[in-house]
Every structure is written in C-alpha cells, then in structure tokens.
Amino acid sequence: MLKPSKMTKIRLIISKEYYSELLSALHDMGVMQIDVTSEEALNFLEREESTSYKEVSDLAQRFRGLEALLYPRPSNKLFTFESMGQLVREAKSVKIDVRVAEIKKDIDTMNAQLRDDEQRLELLGRIGSFQKDLSILATKGRKSFVAHGKELNQLTAAVKKEVPESFVVHLANSAILNINTEHDKEFGVVAERYKVGLEVIPEMHGTPLALTVDLQKKIAALKSHIKAHEDELGVISDTWYPVVSALREQLDIEMDQQEIANRVGIGKSVIVMEGWMPHTDMEKVKSIAAKVSGDHFLLNTVRTKELAPTRLDNPALTRFFEFFIQFYSLPRSDEFDPTMIFTIVFPIFFGFMVGDVGYGLVMLFGSIWLLHRLKHPVKKSRLPKPLTKFVTMIVGPSGLMTIAKAIMPGAVIAIILGVLFNEYFGFQLPYTAPFNVMLGLPKLLLLAGYIGVVMVEFGFLLGFLNKIAHHEKKHAIAKLGWFAAAIGVVVLGLTILHGAAIGTSNPISLVSIGLFIGGILTVLYGEGFQSLMEIPSLVSHILSYVRLVGILLTSVILASIIDLIFLHGIHHSILLGIVGVLILVIGQVFNLVIALFESGIQGARLIYVEFFSKFFAGNGVPFRPFKSSRKRTLSRFDLR
C-alpha cells in the first residue's frame, strides 16, 4: 500500500487473424497501456501498411450526430456485437437519419419564429392603448421606439427638449418615441442617461389590437405544429434511441481500437504490441490471449531502463485521498506512495486543530448532507445561486465530493478531542475536562514539537529507503545525516529549554552536539556544500508543527470571546440580548468557517511542505490503460 502497483513491460506477439479479437478483449479488460512498438521488434517484421478505417470513422461520426438529435431514453437492454461485420451491417440498417434531421430542422425553425412572434406580442402589449395603424410609426426617414422603466418621464422630457423633430406619445405604462433617423446620435446620448428599456418598433400594418389577435392565432398554431413534431421525434426516440446509442458506443470503441494501429507493429502474418501492465494482471492477460487465439501467441517481459507509468494501488475506502496526493504531484512508480500516510495523518491534524464537539458535528453532518445532495441533486436549490456557481466553478462536483469525504474522519476526531477538551462551540459542560486547552498549553506545544520531530524524521527515513532502492548510496547516506542532525538539534533544544548545562558536565548535550556535527558532515559528503542552505529549514520544519496548537488556540479563544459577549448581553437587557444572539450566531459561523479552512489548508501544508520535501520526488507518468466505459453494450468475450 505504500508503493504504487508493480508494473511490467510486455511484448505480445499474435497471429494477425486473432488481432482484432485480442484487441477487443484487452480493451474490455482495461489493464494494458499500449505504447509505440520499439524499433527492435519492428526489425523482425515483414511490414505491411495498416488497413483504412474510413468506413467505421464515417459511421461513428454519423451516429454521434444522430444520437445528439434524438431524445435520451432509459433502457435496461444491453447490446452485443459479435464482429465488425455485424456492427457495420446493423449500423447501415438504421434508416432514420433523413426524417430525424428534417424534424429537428423544422422544430428549430418554428421555435425561432415562435420566439420572434412572442417578442412582438409582448411589444404590442406595451402599446396596446395606441389605437392607430402602426404603419405610421415606421416610415421613410423615421423610426420609433417603445420605452418603459423607472425614469420614463425624465427620458420623454429630455427627448422633447434635446432631440429635434421628435414626437412622444404617452401610454399607460410606456411611451412611443418617434425620431428622425438623422438625429440617431442625439437620441442615443439622451437614452444612455436614463434607466429605461428601449425596443425598436418594427414595420407593422394594422392596429395593436388586430395584430395581437392575429399573432395569438399564429403562436397557437406554431405551438401545435411544434408539439406534433416533438411527439413524432419522441416516438422515433422511444424505438431507436437505445439502438443508436449502443451502436455509437461500439463504433467509438472500434475507433479507439483502430487508432491503436498507429502504435502496433503490423506484419503480413503477425502483430506485435508492447506496453505496460500491472504485474498481477499478466496471468489474466495470458489466459485471455490463449482463449482468443487458441494458444497461438507469445507473451514476454521486456527488460528496460525506462521509468514505468504510475498506477496507485490503495484500499477502496482510502482511495479518494489519492486526489490530494495527485494535486501535489503524482508519485513516480519507483518511489513511495504517501496516500496511506496522508489518510492517517491529515484527519488527525485536522481534528486536532478544530478540537470542538460542536464544530466537529456541524462539519460531519454538513459533509453527509453535501454527499447526499451531490448524489441526489434537486431541481431547485434553496442555496444562493451566486454561491453555488462560485463553488462549483472552483472545485466541481467530484472535487466537492472528495473534500466532503476527507473532512468526515477529521470531524470525528475533532468531536472526540472536543469531549476531552470540554469544548462545545466554546462553551464548557459541567464536567472536569481530561485536558484543558488553556491550562495545558505548554504540554500541547511540547506535543506538537514531538509530532514535528516524528514527521520530519519519518520523512528522512523514507527518503533513505527511496535512495537505497534507486542505488543512490551517497544521497542515501545524506538522508541518514539529516536524520542524525535533526535528533541532535532536538535534544540540544530540549536541554536548553530545561536549563541544563551544556558542556562536559552534561554528556547528553555533548552527544547531541556530536550528532548534529556528524550529521552535517555526512550531509556534506552526500550532497555537497549547497546542502548547508537547508540547515535553517531543518529547525523551522520541526517548529512549524507548533501551528497545530496555534490554530486550535485561536479557535478556542475566539469562540470563548463570542460566547462571553452573548452571555453578557442576555443578562443586561432585551436589546443587548438580541444583539448578543446575533453576535453568537454570526460569530460562531465565522469561527466555524475559519476552523474549516485553516485546519484543512494548514493540515495539508504540514504534510506537503514539511514532510514530503524529505523523500517525495513526484512528477510520475500516469498509467493510461487502453479502455473506455461501456453503458449500452456488452463485451463479446468472457473475461473471467
């Protein structure tokens, strides 16, 4: 669990007649990253150009477009296509493209006309009290606007005064402004000064009342025609959508498989493919290759100095923490995967910094609610739209789900520690706390220091093991030097804090000085003189863990002050009591948000900066297996 999956590069040689079936099986297994075949292997092949796949490409494009035109329909039926020939035949048997395109085009045209007519009807509603023929409003050299809004009267007065040759007709809640087109600029300058809505009155013939009646009939007829077309498209979709969707999915899969031909060595009689797969899947691949080809294949491992791609391998319950590791950097395949360490340490740090039962409960139930909401979205949310849009723009639903899951174990630890600290939104219940944050501050600071020592030293130890595995002996020795120097610094610091003598009268101080000097000399041997620049960070990284206590103490003090203001307010007067309640609610929410963000950010930072820097290289190459998901189709092979 502390290492990525062991990867093996393989070379698979198979008779050409079984190539398509094997490629389909490998696709559905999703365990092999197919790379470009090496020149070494290609030199043994009688090369042959790959077949053109234009027909399949055209069909795939056709069915993507057809699926987009149909209405989605749920279906429990899964389709199986036994061969490429069957897939092509069934795709060509679908003859609904022309009619579907005609229906969709007609619907789009009628909807555009409907929008225009509805806008015109709305405009007529604004000038309904104007009982003259509208043809007089749009003549040669003149045009008209209907204006409405808060500052309508100010606008009409300004138009009469500042726009030459203009006429204004006042209506119930609007006004018609008729202007000479030669004075467009003057009118535009006036209109910009006032908060009004302006709509151009198009050329129309007839009174508003007569035109309104005609438009209402036309709109009703359009809606009826649109409904008939949508019903017809719905009937077609009921019958054909599951089939079309399945064909599109299988055609896309075939296209993915055919694109692999650019990486595969294609000979006249055999096919050679190379790539990476998890070592544990090799026997499964051999079994499937034997089943597909009747044992007419060869599978060998390829010795290479090439860095294998990284495939993280963690238990399902902790896999979501991989997001935080990859956010920092993907581990190399030949180094430690710190996901499990992050899974254990981050919730402890987070819970320690929150340290309050009330805040922990809010975070726990808030995370549970958020997960439920993300899995079961509602049509209309009561949350403010700007807030939800801002959050989803930054994180996205999948990121929010991961963060909610990560907060939950930390919230549980915050509740447990809150009981030990007797902290409930800053209030204390009538029992003796096993540990008081304010009174036990020196012990907490010492505990944070010890946590820092353990984390930093553990990081150096992992760095040592990494370097040994990479056969970098000098750098491995340097990691041991840092390990020893850190112990020396810590012991010497504790000696000074306890007021003990430093010198020959105190052997422990001499040992600590010896460890520090010996460690630094070892580091110089392994990493050179530039490594001396890292000595200050050795101390600062250990002391940095004191922020665990700092954030906890800040939260406790702020909550206590908020509670104190509230209690003083309710004991003085009703007015002050109301103000106190407002301060209590707003202040606790503010403190909760600070606790959530600070604990999350600082908890991750302590791991990323002070811990990862001791051993973690990152910049791994992700494992990209040849696969895609199936929703409408079944594999043609039994992959067991």
Predicted pLDDT at 51: 47
Q: Count CA atoms closer than 13 A to 422's CA, side-chain side.
A: 13
Per-residue model confidence as pLDDT tens digits over 167-194: 899 888 899 999 998 998 999 899 899 9
At residue 402, does pLDDT exceed 80?
A: yes
Q: What is the radius of gyration, based on Cα positions, of the chain? A: 37
Residues 6+ away with beta carbon under 8 Å from 533: none
Rounded mean pLDDT, 453-481:
92
At residue 491, does pLDDT exceed 50?
A: yes
Rounded mean pLDDT, 574-587:
90
Predicted pLDDT at 47: 55
Predicted pLDDT at 392: 67
The overall average pLDDT reported for the chain is 89
> Would you tell me how many other CB atoms lie within 10 Å of the CB of residue 245?
21
Residues 6+ away with beta carbon under 8 Å from 370: 400, 401, 404
Q: Give the C-alpha distances (Å, rounded to integers) separating 352 from 43, 308, 315, 405.
A: 62, 38, 25, 18
At residue 46, does pLDDT exceed 70?
A: no
* pLDDT tier at 391, thresholds 50, 70, 90: low
Percent share of the chain, pLDDT over 70: 95
Q: Of the given ranges (25-39, 383-397, 507-521), which has the lowest mean pLDDT?
A: 383-397
Rounded mean pLDDT, 582-587:
93
Report how far residue 610's alpha carbon sits from residue 583's, in angstroms, rounded to the nearest whole number. Answer: 38
Q: What are phi and psi of 527, to 5 degrees?
A: -125, -5
* pLDDT tier at 499, thresholds 50, 70, 90: confident
Is residue 39 classed as helix, strand or coil in its secondary structure? helix
Q: pTM to 2 decimals?
A: 0.77
Q: Which domains does the chain have, with CATH numbers?
A: 1-48+267-309+624-640 (3.30.70.240), 49-121+212-249 (no CATH), 132-206 (3.30.70.250), 316-614 (no CATH)
Predicted pLDDT at 71: 94
Rounded mean pLDDT, 445-452:
93
**How close are the terminal C-alpha atoms of the chain, in Å?**
25
Predicted pLDDT at 227: 95
Q: Characterise 314 by phi-psi region: left (phi > 0), alpha (psi -120 to 50), beta (else).
A: beta
* pLDDT tier at 82, thresholds 50, 70, 90: confident
At residue 204, does pLDDT exceed 60?
A: yes
